[in-house]
Amino acid sequence: MENNQDNQENTNPTTEVETEAPETGSETAKDVLVGGAGVARRSFISSALEFGGEILHVVIISLAIIVPIRYFLIQPFYVKGASMEPNFYDHEYLIIDEISYRLDNPQRGDIVVFRYPNDPSQFFIKRVIGLPSERVVISDGRVRIFDQAHPDGYVLDESEYLAAGLRTSGDKDVALKDDEFFLMGDNRAASMDSRIFGPVKREFIVGRVWFRGWPPEKMGFFSQENVKTSVNNTP
Protein backbone atom coordinates (compact mmCIF):
# COMPACT_ATOMS: atom_id res chain seq x y z
CA MET A 1 0.00 0.00 0.00
CA GLU A 2 2.77 2.41 0.80
CA ASN A 3 4.50 1.64 -2.47
CA ASN A 4 1.24 2.21 -4.28
CA GLN A 5 0.75 5.49 -2.47
CA ASP A 6 4.31 6.58 -3.26
CA ASN A 7 3.72 5.71 -6.90
CA GLN A 8 0.53 7.80 -6.95
CA GLU A 9 2.29 10.75 -5.31
CA ASN A 10 5.12 10.51 -7.86
CA THR A 11 2.65 10.25 -10.73
CA ASN A 12 0.45 13.17 -9.77
CA PRO A 13 3.16 15.80 -9.69
CA THR A 14 4.39 14.58 -13.08
CA THR A 15 0.89 14.85 -14.51
CA GLU A 16 0.44 18.35 -13.16
CA VAL A 17 3.75 19.48 -14.65
CA GLU A 18 2.84 18.06 -18.01
CA THR A 19 -0.50 19.85 -17.84
CA GLU A 20 1.16 23.20 -17.09
CA ALA A 21 3.83 22.87 -19.77
CA PRO A 22 1.50 23.12 -22.80
CA GLU A 23 -0.26 26.12 -21.25
CA THR A 24 3.07 27.90 -20.83
CA GLY A 25 4.00 27.06 -24.40
CA SER A 26 0.65 28.35 -25.72
CA GLU A 27 1.07 31.70 -24.01
CA THR A 28 4.56 32.01 -25.46
CA ALA A 29 3.19 31.31 -28.92
CA LYS A 30 0.51 33.96 -28.42
CA ASP A 31 3.16 36.46 -27.35
CA VAL A 32 5.16 35.74 -30.49
CA LEU A 33 2.11 36.12 -32.71
CA VAL A 34 1.08 39.39 -31.05
CA GLY A 35 4.62 40.73 -31.25
CA GLY A 36 4.88 39.81 -34.93
CA ALA A 37 1.62 41.59 -35.74
CA GLY A 38 2.82 44.73 -33.96
CA VAL A 39 6.07 44.74 -35.92
CA ALA A 40 4.11 44.29 -39.17
CA ARG A 41 1.85 47.23 -38.33
CA ARG A 42 4.79 49.44 -37.45
CA SER A 43 6.53 48.44 -40.68
CA PHE A 44 3.39 49.23 -42.72
CA ILE A 45 2.95 52.62 -41.04
CA SER A 46 6.62 53.43 -41.56
CA SER A 47 6.40 52.48 -45.24
CA ALA A 48 3.21 54.49 -45.68
CA LEU A 49 4.78 57.56 -44.07
CA GLU A 50 7.88 57.19 -46.20
CA PHE A 51 5.77 56.87 -49.36
CA GLY A 52 3.66 59.87 -48.33
CA GLY A 53 6.83 61.88 -47.75
CA GLU A 54 8.09 61.01 -51.22
CA ILE A 55 4.77 62.03 -52.77
CA LEU A 56 4.82 65.33 -50.87
CA HIS A 57 8.40 65.91 -52.00
CA VAL A 58 7.42 65.36 -55.64
CA VAL A 59 4.37 67.64 -55.28
CA ILE A 60 6.44 70.46 -53.76
CA ILE A 61 9.08 70.21 -56.50
CA SER A 62 6.37 70.10 -59.19
CA LEU A 63 4.62 73.15 -57.77
CA ALA A 64 7.94 74.99 -57.53
CA ILE A 65 8.37 74.40 -61.26
CA ILE A 66 4.79 74.70 -62.51
CA VAL A 67 3.57 77.72 -60.54
CA PRO A 68 6.26 80.15 -61.78
CA ILE A 69 5.78 78.88 -65.34
CA ARG A 70 1.99 79.19 -65.07
CA TYR A 71 1.89 82.67 -63.55
CA PHE A 72 5.06 84.33 -64.83
CA LEU A 73 6.11 82.67 -68.11
CA ILE A 74 3.15 81.25 -70.02
CA GLN A 75 -0.61 81.21 -69.55
CA PRO A 76 -3.45 79.40 -71.35
CA PHE A 77 -6.47 81.16 -72.83
CA TYR A 78 -9.55 80.26 -74.87
CA VAL A 79 -10.63 82.55 -77.68
CA LYS A 80 -14.13 83.80 -77.11
CA GLY A 81 -15.96 85.56 -79.90
CA ALA A 82 -15.34 86.39 -83.56
CA SER A 83 -13.28 89.57 -83.29
CA MET A 84 -10.05 87.92 -84.56
CA GLU A 85 -11.50 85.92 -87.46
CA PRO A 86 -10.32 84.66 -89.90
CA ASN A 87 -7.03 84.16 -88.02
CA PHE A 88 -8.45 82.99 -84.67
CA TYR A 89 -11.84 81.44 -84.10
CA ASP A 90 -14.12 80.95 -81.12
CA HIS A 91 -12.99 78.25 -78.63
CA GLU A 92 -9.46 77.96 -79.97
CA TYR A 93 -6.95 77.19 -77.22
CA LEU A 94 -3.90 79.46 -77.03
CA ILE A 95 -0.77 79.63 -74.90
CA ILE A 96 0.45 83.14 -74.17
CA ASP A 97 4.12 84.03 -73.77
CA GLU A 98 4.46 86.41 -70.84
CA ILE A 99 8.23 86.50 -70.50
CA SER A 100 8.99 88.27 -73.81
CA TYR A 101 7.29 91.47 -72.76
CA ARG A 102 9.25 91.52 -69.53
CA LEU A 103 12.33 91.96 -71.70
CA ASP A 104 10.93 93.95 -74.63
CA ASN A 105 7.89 95.95 -75.69
CA PRO A 106 5.04 94.84 -77.96
CA GLN A 107 5.67 95.45 -81.64
CA ARG A 108 3.29 96.44 -84.40
CA GLY A 109 1.45 93.38 -85.69
CA ASP A 110 1.86 91.36 -82.50
CA ILE A 111 -1.25 89.47 -81.39
CA VAL A 112 -1.60 90.21 -77.68
CA VAL A 113 -3.79 89.28 -74.76
CA PHE A 114 -4.58 92.15 -72.40
CA ARG A 115 -6.84 93.08 -69.55
CA TYR A 116 -9.87 95.04 -70.62
CA PRO A 117 -9.21 98.57 -69.23
CA ASN A 118 -12.82 99.05 -68.09
CA ASP A 119 -12.90 95.67 -66.33
CA PRO A 120 -9.44 94.18 -65.66
CA SER A 121 -10.96 90.82 -64.74
CA GLN A 122 -11.73 90.26 -68.43
CA PHE A 123 -9.10 89.36 -71.03
CA PHE A 124 -9.21 90.38 -74.70
CA ILE A 125 -7.14 89.29 -77.67
CA LYS A 126 -6.31 91.91 -80.35
CA ARG A 127 -3.56 93.00 -82.70
CA VAL A 128 -1.13 95.85 -82.05
CA ILE A 129 -1.75 98.62 -84.57
CA GLY A 130 -0.38 101.79 -83.03
CA LEU A 131 2.72 102.15 -80.86
CA PRO A 132 3.47 104.58 -78.01
CA SER A 133 3.84 108.26 -79.01
CA GLU A 134 2.38 107.62 -82.47
CA ARG A 135 -0.71 109.14 -83.99
CA VAL A 136 -3.30 106.76 -85.45
CA VAL A 137 -5.82 108.08 -87.96
CA ILE A 138 -8.66 105.95 -89.30
CA SER A 139 -10.53 107.33 -92.29
CA ASP A 140 -11.90 106.11 -95.60
CA GLY A 141 -11.60 102.53 -94.37
CA ARG A 142 -7.80 102.74 -93.96
CA VAL A 143 -5.37 103.16 -91.07
CA ARG A 144 -2.67 105.80 -91.25
CA ILE A 145 0.30 105.96 -88.88
CA PHE A 146 2.16 109.17 -88.03
CA ASP A 147 5.49 108.92 -86.21
CA GLN A 148 8.90 110.61 -86.12
CA ALA A 149 10.09 108.69 -89.17
CA HIS A 150 6.89 109.52 -91.09
CA PRO A 151 5.64 112.94 -89.99
CA ASP A 152 3.29 113.07 -92.99
CA GLY A 153 1.94 109.62 -92.19
CA TYR A 154 1.63 106.41 -94.21
CA VAL A 155 -1.12 103.91 -94.86
CA LEU A 156 -0.58 100.73 -92.88
CA ASP A 157 -0.42 97.64 -95.10
CA GLU A 158 -2.60 95.06 -93.36
CA SER A 159 -3.06 92.70 -96.28
CA GLU A 160 -1.18 89.85 -94.55
CA TYR A 161 -3.80 89.38 -91.85
CA LEU A 162 -7.00 91.13 -92.96
CA ALA A 163 -9.48 89.44 -95.25
CA ALA A 164 -9.30 90.67 -98.83
CA GLY A 165 -11.32 93.83 -99.35
CA LEU A 166 -11.94 94.37 -95.63
CA ARG A 167 -12.09 98.01 -94.64
CA THR A 168 -11.72 99.51 -91.18
CA SER A 169 -14.87 101.24 -90.11
CA GLY A 170 -15.03 104.37 -88.02
CA ASP A 171 -13.29 107.73 -88.10
CA LYS A 172 -10.65 108.17 -85.42
CA ASP A 173 -7.71 110.45 -84.79
CA VAL A 174 -5.84 109.35 -81.68
CA ALA A 175 -2.52 110.59 -80.31
CA LEU A 176 -0.97 107.88 -78.16
CA LYS A 177 0.93 108.63 -74.97
CA ASP A 178 4.33 107.10 -74.30
CA ASP A 179 2.80 104.12 -72.49
CA GLU A 180 -0.23 103.50 -74.74
CA PHE A 181 -1.01 101.13 -77.61
CA PHE A 182 -3.78 101.16 -80.17
CA LEU A 183 -5.24 97.65 -80.54
CA MET A 184 -7.79 96.28 -83.01
CA GLY A 185 -9.31 92.94 -83.92
CA ASP A 186 -8.73 91.41 -87.36
CA ASN A 187 -12.49 91.16 -87.91
CA ARG A 188 -12.98 94.91 -87.90
CA ALA A 189 -16.74 94.81 -88.31
CA ALA A 190 -17.20 92.60 -85.21
CA SER A 191 -14.50 93.82 -82.86
CA MET A 192 -14.78 95.95 -79.74
CA ASP A 193 -11.32 97.49 -79.58
CA SER A 194 -9.42 100.76 -79.21
CA ARG A 195 -11.85 102.42 -81.61
CA ILE A 196 -14.43 102.04 -78.82
CA PHE A 197 -12.64 101.89 -75.46
CA GLY A 198 -9.56 103.88 -76.44
CA PRO A 199 -5.83 103.18 -76.19
CA VAL A 200 -4.53 100.44 -73.87
CA LYS A 201 -1.78 101.18 -71.38
CA ARG A 202 1.31 98.99 -71.39
CA GLU A 203 0.58 97.67 -67.90
CA PHE A 204 -2.62 95.97 -69.11
CA ILE A 205 -0.90 93.89 -71.78
CA VAL A 206 -0.32 90.36 -70.45
CA GLY A 207 1.61 88.71 -73.27
CA ARG A 208 1.69 87.68 -76.91
CA VAL A 209 0.25 84.62 -78.59
CA TRP A 210 2.93 81.91 -78.59
CA PHE A 211 1.22 78.59 -79.32
CA ARG A 212 -2.13 77.36 -80.60
CA GLY A 213 -3.08 74.03 -79.03
CA TRP A 214 -6.59 73.58 -80.39
CA PRO A 215 -7.92 72.58 -82.86
CA PRO A 216 -5.35 69.87 -83.68
CA GLU A 217 -5.16 70.67 -87.38
CA LYS A 218 -4.12 74.25 -86.58
CA MET A 219 -1.74 73.40 -83.76
CA GLY A 220 1.58 75.23 -83.90
CA PHE A 221 3.90 77.91 -82.62
CA PHE A 222 3.86 81.59 -83.55
CA SER A 223 7.12 83.44 -84.02
CA GLN A 224 7.45 87.21 -83.84
CA GLU A 225 7.72 87.29 -87.62
CA ASN A 226 4.70 85.23 -88.62
CA VAL A 227 2.22 87.33 -86.65
CA LYS A 228 3.45 90.70 -87.80
CA THR A 229 2.15 92.87 -90.53
CA SER A 230 4.23 93.72 -93.53
CA VAL A 231 4.93 97.38 -92.89
CA ASN A 232 5.29 98.60 -96.43
CA ASN A 233 4.95 102.34 -96.52
CA THR A 234 2.14 103.38 -98.82
CA PRO A 235 1.65 107.12 -99.38
Backbone angles phi, psi at 41, to 5 degrees: -65, -45
Which member of 47, 83, 100, 169 is catalytic? Answer: 83
Classify the phi-psi angles of 142: left when phi > 0, otherwise alpha if psi is within -120 to 50, otherwise beta: beta
| The 3-state secondary structure of 110-169, one letter per residue | CEEEEEECCEEEEEEEEEEEECCCCEEEEECCEEEEECCCCCCCEECCCCCCCCCCCCCC
**Contact status, residue 168 vs residue 185, Cβ threshold 8 Å:** no
Whether 126 is a known active-site residue: answer yes
Q: Please, what is the end-to-end C-alpha distance for the chain in angstroms?
A: 146
Which member of 26, 126, 191, 218 is catalytic? Answer: 126
Backbone angles phi, psi at 204, to 5 degrees: -85, -15
Catalytic residues: 83, 126
